[in-house]
Structure 1
Amino acid sequence: MKIAKDILYKVPIEAVHGSTSITINKIEFDSRKIELNDVFVAIKGVLSDGHLFIEKAISLGAKLIICETFPAVFTEGVTYVKVISSNAALAHLAANYYDNPSSKLKLVGVTGTNGKTTIASLLYQLFKRAGYKVGLLSTVKIVVDETIYGATHTTPDSLTINHYLNEMVETGCEFCFMEVSSHGIHQKRTEALCFEGGVFTNLSHDHLDYHKTFAEYRDVKKEFFDHLPKTAFALTNADDKNGAIMLQNTHARKKTYALKSYADFRAQILENQLSGLLLKINNDEVWVKLIGSFNAYNVLAIYGVALELGLENVEALRLLSELESVSGRFQYFISDTKITTIIDYAHTPDALENVLKTIEDIRTKNEQLITVVGCGGDRDKTKRPIMANIASSLSNTAIFTSDNPRTEDPQTIIDEMEAGVEGQNFKKTVSILDRKQAIKTACQLAKPGDIILIAGKGHETYQEINGVHQDFDDLKIAKELIQQLGK
């Protein structure tokens, strides 16, 4: 149990009706979860407005209402607090309720279009190998030291974040690495957190269904760095033109990494093979099990964070060489007939191009490259023709199929993809609505030595169609089909 005025600390309040000395039970922003003496935070969401459920929350026992607009009539015995932003209020309420757990460990946020999951997950892996208790908040999973929980969002809501950060503190974790999405920043989910550092990976075409313009998308990312304290570090990719923009107004210690530019942490690719990369980082050579130039950037970011958090150079390099690739990120297997199948989460134009160019760098050119790719429904439509153009241009055969169509017509999505294919590449494309059939067709077309890329879903083990999650694992299905076909 908590006192209302204690959890309201730092909440931007406009007006109060009632007493803030009342005792409260827990905080909820879903009226259906309200119990006696709870706090209900009314949030104006994309699909619904929590203000419409204030009366329901009170009927279920809510004693403290956080809202942006006072109701026309107040209920006796209930305290109402009018705030500037319910999202920002929730962030502070959650942090205060759990006694600000982010201030009790070293929390590092990773933001950018591509690479967030890989960097955060491998930092978790690296510091675990270094002997520390570590937490992870990622798209793939939430981990408290060694206990694994499922994840539903890249950046969870403020209550979920602080709940797990608190569990990490109680478990004795010293570090936590988390993905910070543009949605999470815009919706103030990270506002009340104390960060030890932030990492910027890159910025490319994504989420323009939500942010509307690329400039808005960029500036939301920048907000994260603008709010870092002087005691933190801000590590950005100097090879991305937006890297310098992220540092413009930050109070944090500025650090950079790059392959092509002058930077604090710089690398040169000496060898790039299917088995890994040989890198020269600053003045030291290190072999890592990750593949491709995009992973060279990820490795550099991880190295930079490790040093900023106090690891010795020699130990950081040793631990880098031991890292294993993240599930669904350039994950591959080779069949008995030497067909290489690669599973990757690439679901943006830039990510898809990076993966295809990485394959181009390591292939002999004697084999065929067959790419299976789709685009998600109810998401940014403008990237569909761009991704189809990239896939058809950089593959010998491109098979367009369903990704997670959600509530959209899968055929319409594919039609919009096909519109981006240039005339000279159209003969290299085929469209197959059913994703399993598309993967099977790729396996049937593949000859010994060929390469199959299945892009878009990576680690996901489901396909979302009309609001229903159906079991679907690209890696598992591809392995089964390759075996069935005797390839």
Structure 2
Amino acid sequence: MIYLKDILYKVPIEKTIGVTAVAINNLHFDSRKIELNDVFVAIRGSLSDGHDYIKMAAEKGALAIICESLPELIINGITYVQVADSNKALALMAANYFENPSDSLKLIGVTGTNGKTTISSLLYDLFKAAGYETGLLSTVKIMVGEKEFPATHTTPDPLTINSYLRKMVDAGVEFCFMEVSSHGIHQKRTEGLHFAGGIFTNLSHDHLDYHKDFKEYRDVKKTFFDQLPKSAFALTNADDKNGPVMLQNTNARTYTYALKTYADYKGQILENQFNGLLLKINNNELWVKLIGAFNAYNMLAIYGTADLLGLETIEVLQLMSNLESVAGRFQYVVSEEMNITAIVDYAHTPDALKNVLQTINSIRTGNEELITVVGCGGDRDAAKRPKMGNIAASLSTKVIFTSDNPRSEDPEAIIHQIEAGVPPEHFKRTLSITDRKQAIKTACSMANRNDIILVAGKGHETYQEINGERFEFNDLEIVSEFITALKK
């Protein structure tokens, strides 16, 4: 039996009306899910305010209401708890409701603009291969040991996080690797979680539709490290100018990784080819199947984390050499007939697109065309669109601008905004095809022997979102179909 007073442990309370020594059933922030004797937490969201649904929750049988503003109508028999921050209250209550599962395993959070999915996913793969029961909370999927569950958000809501962490603990999971987004930190979804470590990847232009400016975006990321306990470690990218900032106020033990500067985990790229990287990490050489400087940083973060969690160096190096690329992250297929390489990558920020294109350009001989297909999502940060256009046109030999996930926006209007960033000297390299499938088909038909095609922006996604509907769409399947059909 769970009591309201127990799940309110550590929640800063401003006022209580009614009794808290009552047994409750479930905890919800969606009034539609409320049943008899449940607790409803009223959250102020960007699209709706949970306080508008307090009356509905009461009518459906809520035993307690957690809110920032008390309603005018106070109903006898219902307990009202006024809090300063409903998001924080929900996170703390969710942790308490599921008996604080993060205390019973080693939870590692990965935050930054790019690399979160690759690092968390490959750490999951590495620790699983090392024989540990392991969990994963990522953009691509949720793993409880060997069981896979679909992911809906980079950082889920606190109830989802803690329910899966509880499943992990019950399944004997020892390590869990979790993506931590700026939205998740800002909305207090990670409050009440006990992290054994935090990893910072890098910071570049993203989510400025949500955050007021870059400084706020950076400072939100920093609060994750500010809140780490003394028992945790904080591992940061010393080559990123914001890397040291993350460590300024943390209580955790601090460590660094870098390719260019001195660091605890120092790396060097010895060879960079389409089939992998030859790296030196702290004087140990290893071959990995991933490609590009950005993946060298990911490998350093993985190596450092495995070391800090107590794995033996030789074992870590052996396991790293077997790691495969994550779905939608520099996945590539080569046509046998024409030797055309098609690469699919999730690059949907200016920095990520630049990284991928620079990586391809550093490997190719220069005799091949590099044909890029790229768009930008609708209802998201519009300021990055011309930057994406500039980067794509400047670093490719040919570019096709197309639709991504337009959502509620006009895809052609989005494309015009991308085109606005193209330097005049590169106009002739570009064309625009709104239909994404047709754009990919055109790129394939333009390709000659040995050319390279990059399809960027959607990566692992298996759908295209248009006006509130999701239509089946898989970049890798589509580009594979078209290039394998090409004949000499």
User: 1:446, 1:301 → 2: CA distance?
Assistant: 36
User: 2:381, 2:150 → 1: CA distance?
Assistant: 25
2:478 corresponds to = 477
Residues 14-47 of structure 1: CA deviation (Å, up to 9, x unaligned): 1000000111001000000111100000000000
2:350 corresponds to = 349
Q: Residue 218 of structure 1: CA displacement?
A: 0.1
2:402 corresponds to = 401
Map 1:78-477 onto structure 2 (within 5 A). 78-336=78-336, 337-477=338-478
Give 2:428's aligned amino acid: K
User: 1:483, 1:115 → 2: CA distance?
Assistant: 30
1:16 corresponds to = 16
- Aligned residue for 1:168, secondary structure, equals helix
User: 2:38, 2:470 → 1: CA distance?
Assistant: 32
User: 1:456, 1:251 → 2: CA distance?
Assistant: 37
* TM-score normalized with structure 1 length: 0.99
User: 1:486, 1:22 → 2: CA distance?
Assistant: 72
User: 2:54, 2:235 → 1: CA distance?
Assistant: 42
* TM-score normalized with structure 2 length: 0.99
Residues 383-434 of structure 1: CA deviation (Å, up to 9, x unaligned): 0000000000000001000000000000110000010000000110000000
Q: Residue 483 of structure 1: CA displacement?
A: 3.0
User: 2:335, 2:25 → 1: CA distance?
Assistant: 56
Q: Residue 283 of structure 1: CA displacement?
A: 1.0
Q: Residue 480 of structure 1: CA displacement?
A: 1.5
- Aligned residue for 1:189, secondary structure, equals coil
User: 1:360, 1:67 → 2: CA distance?
Assistant: 54
Give 1:440's aligned amino acid: K
User: 2:377, 2:438 → 1: CA distance?
Assistant: 18
User: 1:129, 1:324 → 2: CA distance?
Assistant: 12
- Aligned residue for 1:382, secondary structure, equals helix
User: 2:24, 2:346 → 1: CA distance?
Assistant: 43
Q: Residue 231 of structure 1: CA displacement?
A: 0.3
User: 1:112, 1:7 → 2: CA distance?
Assistant: 31
- Aligned residue for 1:249, secondary structure, equals coil
User: 2:257, 2:63 → 1: CA distance?
Assistant: 50
User: 2:79, 2:105 → 1: CA distance?
Assistant: 34
Give 2:427's aligned amino acid: F
Give 1:446's aligned amino acid: A
Q: Residue 252 of structure 1: CA displacement?
A: 0.2
Identity of aligned residues (%): 70
Give 1:192's aligned amino acid: G
Q: Residue 479 of structure 1: CA displacement?
A: 1.3
Residues 232-256 of structure 1: CA deviation (Å, up to 9, x unaligned): 0000000000001000000000000
- Aligned residue for 2:339, secondary structure, equals coil
Q: Residue 484 of structure 1: CA displacement?
A: 3.5
User: 1:483, 1:287 → 2: CA distance?
Assistant: 29
Is 473-482 or 221-230 further displaced after alignment? 473-482
Q: Residue 482 of structure 1: CA displacement?
A: 2.0
- Aligned residue for 1:183, secondary structure, equals helix
Map 1:41-56 onto structure 2 (within 5 A). 41-56=41-56
- Aligned residue for 1:426, secondary structure, equals helix
- Aligned residue for 1:125, secondary structure, equals helix
User: 1:485, 1:47 → 2: CA distance?
Assistant: 47
Q: Residue 453 of structure 1: CA displacement?
A: 0.1
Residues 440-472 of structure 1: CA deviation (Å, up to 9, x unaligned): 000000011000000000000000000100000
- Aligned residue for 1:9, secondary structure, equals coil
Q: List gaps (5 residues or longer) in structure 2.
A: none
Q: Residue 355 of structure 1: CA displacement?
A: 0.1
User: 1:38, 1:486 → 2: CA distance?
Assistant: 63
- Aligned residue for 2:210, secondary structure, equals helix
User: 2:275, 2:486 → 1: CA distance?
Assistant: 26
User: 1:386, 1:25 → 2: CA distance?
Assistant: 50
Q: Residue 212 of structure 1: CA displacement?
A: 1.6
User: 2:396, 2:408 → 1: CA distance?
Assistant: 29
Give 1:41's aligned amino acid: V
Q: Residue 481 of structure 1: CA displacement?
A: 1.8
- Aligned residue for 2:379, secondary structure, equals coil
Q: Residue 73 of structure 1: CA displacement?
A: 1.4
- Aligned residue for 1:211, secondary structure, equals coil
Q: Does 1:77 align with 2:61?
A: no
User: 2:75, 2:124 → 1: CA distance?
Assistant: 48
RMSD: 0.6
- Aligned residue for 1:149, secondary structure, equals strand
